[in-house]
Amino acid sequence: MQNYLPNESRYTNGMQFRRCGKSGILLPSVSLGWWHNFGAENDYDHCREIVRYAFDHGITHMDLANNYGPPPGHAEEMMGRMMQDDLRPYRDELFIASKAGYVMWPGPYGNWGSRKSLMASLDQSLKRMKLDYVDLFYTHRYDPETPLEETLQALVDIVRQGKALYVGISRWPLHALKVAIKYLSERDVPPLIYQGRLNMLDRAPLEEGILEECHNNGLGFISFSPLAQGLLTDRYLQGSVPQNSRMSQGRFLKEEMLTPELLAYLNEQNAIAQAKGQTLAEHALRWILEQKGVTSVLVGASSVEQLKKNIKAGCE
């Protein structure tokens, strides 16, 4: 198999890098999310082409989680294979994240935010990805039953053990985020970043004060589902459901979501985008990146062509 040689102009071809809060880390404005498109049903060589294209164009940040697939764990296994085939020589150029907090294995310890669950999950993730450490490890969701101090101390100890360089918070409510910032900072492991759903259709982090809290305390913010699972693209502007779209699969998008009000809004925003010489998707991504305190947006990609279009939002 031919050795991969990345594009020599990967850092000069336009991708903008943004400082993550008040840290020393710079992240690309557009990062690659592995939530979908890296499962067992996806062709390895096709996925490899997408990741190569991303890295060739300045996307250094790869966002994974223990349960990404499907099946759970498969995205990380694919990352491990790519590390062996292509990426090992460039490990220090990559910023690789993983998470734990959703159900991963049977029994009481394969879910939520206990110390045992987080530490065991990260050990499994490192083995799957064939890594000695991750750059960033998140608690993937708020656990209302486990004491916050137990979850947060696990994050502190994970950094001290050298298994992660930084820690992050994903999808925690504001009151718990405030506790996390204080607890972690007092132990010299300040959280690097918060990951939340922010897009033109879901503005909760703005409305609930999470983005402001992050900005005021030196955390970065990264948006997942920035295109609302594809609603903020040109796929649904006519009110129909294309074959092989996420809505046609009915897993995360339901056809009844395409209300007359939503269609009118999407077409209104599409007209604004066209007036700027942009696609609706590019317009939607740039809207997020214009919000104060946002570091990056996580885009998924089922093809190089799709990624190519979305990368434009993060370039100068």
pLDDT in tens, 110-121: 999 999 999 999
Identify the pLDDT of residue 235: 87
Residue % of the chain over a pLDDT of 90:
89
Contacts of 204 (CB under 8 A, 6+ apart): 196, 197, 198, 210
| Contact assessment for residue 227 and residue 200, using Cβ atoms and an 8 Å cutoff | no
Does the 24-314 domain belong in CATH 3.20.20.100?
Answer: yes
Span 199-229, pLDDT tens digits: 999 999 999 999 999 999 999 999 999 999 8
Q: Residue 222: CA atoms inside 13 Å, Cβ hemisphere, count?
A: 31
Q: What would the two tokens of residue 6 be?
A: 């990345």
Identify the pLDDT of residue 252: 64
Span 15-45, pLDDT tens digits: 999 999 999 999 999 999 999 899 999 999 9
Identify the pLDDT of residue 256: 77
Contacts of 290 (CB under 8 A, 6+ apart): none
The structural domains of the chain, with segments of one domain joined by +, span 24-314
pLDDT band at 257 (very low <50, low <70, confident <90, very high): confident
Q: Pick the residue with more confidence: 247 or 304?
A: 304
Contacts of 42 (CB under 8 A, 6+ apart): none
Q: What would the two tokens of residue 149 be?
A: 């101090």
Mean pLDDT of the chain: 95
State pTM to two decimals. Answer: 0.95
